[in-house]
Chains A and B, each alone.
Chain A
Amino acid sequence: AQKITQTQPGMFVQEKEAVTLDCTYDTSDQSYGLFWYKQPSSGEMIFLIYQGSYDEQNATEGRYSLNFQKARKSANLVISASQLGDSAMYFCAMREVNMDTGRRALTFGSGTRLQVQP
């Protein structure tokens, strides 16, 4: 089973509008972390926002907010007031702890390509 599912391969949004990028996850752990990264055409991975599984409030960072619905295992990214520079690939990721090795690697979804139109 996929650990991270991003069902929208591509999305379009008009400049200045809000957009929601979907992410669902699968884990049996009680403690985990959820991340969103932006990858522009230049290729680097830009950290956007983090939500811990025990955080009661939804995370916000500027124009980014994470709509965390724990019971539904969803962690959607909301970008408000889209800008042309927001056009990029967006990846949702989850961190679980491997109790045998202590590994805290991220598992990534397949990404959503967002295009902001003027």
Chain B
Amino acid sequence: NAGVMQNPRHLVRRRGQEARLRCSPMKGHSHVYWYRQLPEEGLKFMVYLQKENIIDESGMPKERFSAEFPKEGPSILRIQQVVRGDSAAYFCASSPSPGTERRPYFGPGTRLTVT
């Protein structure tokens, strides 16, 4: 059973460009969380999605950031008009139906560098 997959693993963007980060949850998992880790900090919750629904985006910056989890395909975290402060590691974690899992399963992360 493949784990959570994220791609790309490393992404370099110039200021003003768009970044698209993908997360494929574990098979059978329908809940996805995105986290951001700024340098020398712990991970911080951004958004919680189920298939075709954004459940909680309270941790997401109000502008330039969006997320989706379509019926088919991976979850996408999209950052428009990137700025240097967006440079970070972005992790997604997946879980099956809530309340049944002991732990979320993290992907390897995407390291975004904005030049």
Contacts and interface: CB of A to CB of B under 8 A. Distances in A.
A45 B93 CA distance: 10
A106 B104 contact: yes
What interface size band does chain A fall in? 20 to 34
A28 interface: no
Contacts of A80: none
B85 interface: no
Contacts of B111: 43
Contacts of B59: 105
B35 to A, nearest CB: 8
B89 A43 contact: yes
B108 interface: yes
A43 B110 CA distance: 10
Nearest to A110: B42
A103 B56 contact: yes
A64 to B, nearest CB: 14
12 contacts: A45-B91, A47-B103, A93-B42, A98-B56, A101-B55, A102-B98, A103-B45, A103-B56, A105-B33, A105-B59, A108-B43, A110-B42
